[in-house]
């Protein structure tokens, strides 16, 4: 099975002021694409290297994590991915 990076279902500036257009373009277009190209598909990932939040949050990592968890995360989609993973694992164990 190969994975493709899907287009975002919203504009790159839709998460402002919690995440800037520049940050989202950088992470979706470079980091997430690299994960897909490497065959990784995390259920939920949060990049906490300094480059991931420096543009918008500078050294305030706790503020970045709070904003990430409280706003941009589509928890329904995370639950859907989790359930799909659980289903595949159960099928593989049978």
Q: Which of 39, 32, 43, 44 is nearest to 5 (CA)?
A: 32
pLDDT, tens only, 14-72: 999 999 999 999 989 998 888 887 776 677 778 887 777 888 999 899 999 999 889 88
DSSP 8-state assignment for residue 93: H
pTM beyond 0.85: the answer is no
Phi, psi of 78 (to 5 degrees): -60, -45
Q: How far apart are CA 57 and CA 41, in angstroms?
A: 26
* Residue pair 69/48 in contact by the 8 Å Cβ criterion: no
Instruction: Tell me the mean pLDDT in the region 78-88.
Output: 87
């Amino acid at each position: 099975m190969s994975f493709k990076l899907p287009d975002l279902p919203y504009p790159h500036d839709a998460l402002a002021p919690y995440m800037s257009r520049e940050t989202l373009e950088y992470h979706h277009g470079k980091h997430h694409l690299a994960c897909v190209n490497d065959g990784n598909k995390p259920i939920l990932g949060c990049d906490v290297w300094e480059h991931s939040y420096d543009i918008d949050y500078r050294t305030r990592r706790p503020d970045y994590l709070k904003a990430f968890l409280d706003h941009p995360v589509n928890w329904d989609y995370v639950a859907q991915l989790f359930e799909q993973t659980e289903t595949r694992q159960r099928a593989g164990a049978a």
